[in-house]
Chain A
Amino acid sequence: MGIKEKILTKSLYVFHLSSGSCNNCDIEIIDCLTPRYDIERFGIVLVGSIKHADVLLCTGSVNRLTVPRIKVLYEQMPKPGFVVAFGSCGASRGLFKDSYNTGKPLDEIIPVDMYIPGCPPRPEAIMAGLLKLIDKLNSKGK
């Protein structure tokens, strides 16, 4: 078991899904790829297709319209795969909690492995979060 997790955590491919976010989190994700933070050091790559991904990074308070799409995308992610709720909205719907438009919180739709709070989370927080996810997976294997 241990080797399997070790390999998996050494190359996490991240798919970024915006479920009705204000675009702020989405920009901060791109910041992680810049020379200052360079998340590719840890083998983490942003991919364009959910079929290649290991991590579903979900930003935004979940709209009613995006609920079925999130379910479809979660089913299309090849397992083993993980879900990260990104930003205050992803974790708790933030200030859109009582909006007419917001459906359920993300963790009631699909199982969430990891929360990264912040509005938006700083790149340092994102990296700390992803490294914590790696630690969590490694300890699971032992």
Chain B
Amino acid sequence: MVYPGFLFSGAIGLLAGWFDRKITARLQWRVGPRWYQNFMDIAKLFLKETLIPDGASRMVFFAMPLLAIAGSTLASTIIMVINQTPGVTFIGDLIVVVYLMLIPPLALMLGGFASGNPLASLGGSREMKLMLSYELPFLLALVVPIAKAGYSIQLGGIITYQALHGPIFFSISGVLSFVVMLLCIQAKLGFVPFDMPEAETEIVSGMYIEYSGPALAMLKLAKAILAFALPALLITLYFGGIIFTASGILMSVLEYILILLLMIVIKNTNPRVRIDQAVRFFWRIPTALAVLAVVLAYLGL
């Protein structure tokens, strides 16, 4: 519960959210909020009342934030525990993590549909299309570390392989699939070029629109935990995982900050694309790159 679980990943995720806001502000020549701003936002939402929209289906509307937070917490916990002791891995845990990470967007989508707001269901349908578009290159790129580590679908296996042979990132196929993964994660976290499901200026935060108070806080926390778990998955797959020594932790923190920084800079230098453009983009360039990376990995490059 406390260390690798909910509180730890939530705190890191909220700090990452502040980092995002601060860097965005600095890129726009603003000062930006203070470091505890996101904690205050969540604490405030827990103090507010929750309103239930008239036409909403109550059960789905309230179950979905819980489901979202459960899915992302479980995924981040599995990643952290296996990083700590690669021995406790089980067959197919990589697949379990990937599908657990799919739960928050799915839950958010269902919650949006359940709220009965037309803008929320528009956001939900966009999220669905976006999910269809990024899952294909994401899973293809995932094949590269698996193939590199001797066809092992265990996170522990991939970590021990990298401990022996050096990080997967230092190979042609590794770099290619890392780039594809980064783009997919951008879409998974809903950062700007691919934020049409919640487009603030267009469909006023999409699926979140009817949520208020603690339910909204839980959805935000689920997203924050995902913002910790997805880069952590990247570090595990491409940079040899988190080694629990002083220098190893420092390295992982640096890698995490670097990945976040890269995503935030992409976020701040690109306009939002339309949903059809996003689908076309993901099914062409990243998919082609991922296929190329898989072929290269098969050839051993």
Using a CB–CB distance below 8 Å, which chain A residues touch chain B?
4, 7-8, 10-11, 35, 38, 40-41, 43, 47-49, 51-52, 54, 76, 78-80
CA distance A52 to B148 in the complex (A): 46
B210 cross-chain contacts in A, Cβ below 8 A:
49, 51
The answer to whether B44 and A8 touch across the interface, beta carbons within 8 angstroms, is yes
**CB nearest neighbor in B for A41:** B31
CA distance A7 to B32 in the complex (A): 18
Taking residues whose C-beta sits less than 8 angstroms from the other chain, chain B's interface range is 20 to 34
The answer to whether A38 and B48 touch across the interface, beta carbons within 8 angstroms, is no
B43 cross-chain contacts in A, Cβ below 8 A:
7
Can you list 24 A-B pairs, Cβ within 8 angstroms, ordered by A?
Answer: A7-B43, A7-B47, A10-B37, A10-B44, A11-B37, A11-B41, A35-B30, A38-B30, A38-B31, A40-B31, A40-B33, A41-B30, A48-B200, A48-B209, A49-B204, A49-B205, A49-B208, A51-B210, A51-B216, A54-B48, A76-B51, A78-B50, A78-B213, A80-B48
Please give the distance in Å from B17's CB to the nearest CB on chain A: 12
How many pairs, one residue from A and one from B, have CB atoms within 8 Å of each other in the complex?
A: 73
Please give the distance in Å from B262's CB to the nearest CB on chain A: 23
B238 cross-chain contacts in A, Cβ below 8 A:
none
Please give the distance in Å from B59's CB to the nearest CB on chain A: 19
The answer to whether B205 and A52 touch across the interface, beta carbons within 8 angstroms, is yes
B267 at the interface (CB under 8 A from A): no
B223 at the interface (CB under 8 A from A): no
**Interface positions of B from 198 to 225, Cβ below 8 Å from A:** 200-201, 204-205, 208-213, 216
CA distance A35 to B31 in the complex (A): 8
Please give the distance in Å from A22's CB to the nearest CB on chain B: 22
CA distance A43 to B31 in the complex (A): 11
